[in-house]
Structures are given as structure tokens and as C-alpha cells.
Amino acid sequence: MMDRQTSPENKSEDKSENNEKIISDTKECPYCAETIKVKAKICRFCNRVLAPDISSQKEQEETKLKLIATMEREVGQIANV
Ligand SMILES: [Zn+2]
């Protein structure tokens, strides 16, 4: 236990790993620009209610569908050739 606490190298490594995880799981609050979780509905820094990200989710699904459509078209073209 003592060895772990006195080793600074391990600590810094853990920190960088955590940072990467936090970046992928967080976003910036549009009101106070603090880093908050993507799933957060209320900013814990300014207590403002955040609008749910439904529109972007819809967009993502639409782009996915478009991608599938273009892929199917390409596959059809290849089959025709
Ligand atoms: Zn905020």
C-alpha cells in the first residue's frame, strides 16, 4: 500500500487514462462552458437544465441510413457490372 502511494509514475499514468475516458464521456456546458457528462440533464456547475440531444441523435441515425442506402446502391452497381 505504501509503495503504491509513493510512486508518482503510476499516478500520472492513471490520470492520463482517466482523462481520455472523461473526454469521450463528457461535453461542454453551453451555459458555463464547464465539462459535464454527456448524459447530464442538469449542469452540476450552473444548475441549468440542458436540452436533451435528441436532434443530434436523429441526425446520426439519418446519416447512418443514408450511408446504408449509398452502400446498397454501390453494391447494386458492382453487381450490374
Ligand atoms: Zn453549466
Question: How far, in Å, from the CA of 28 to the mean position of ligand 1?
Answer: 8
Question: How far, in Å, from the CA of 11 to the mean position of ligand 1?
Answer: 29
> CA–CA separation, 81 vs 62, rounded Å?
29
Do 14 and 4 form a contact (C-beta atoms < 8 A)? no
- Higher-confidence residue: 59 or 4? 59
Question: How far, in Å, from the CA of 53 to the mean position of ligand 1?
Answer: 15
pLDDT in tens, 52-71: 665 566 777 888 899 989 88
Do 43 and 30 form a contact (C-beta atoms < 8 A)? no
What count of Cα atoms within 13 Å lies in the side-chain half-sphere of residue 4?
A: 2
Question: How far, in Å, from the CA of 56 to the mean position of ligand 1?
Answer: 20
> Which three three-digit cell numbers place residue 18?
482517466
The DSSP output letter for 41 is S
Q: What is the pTM of this model?
A: 0.38
Which pLDDT value is given to residue 79?
74
pLDDT in tens, 7-57: 555 555 565 555 555 456 899 999 999 999 998 999 999 999 997 665 566
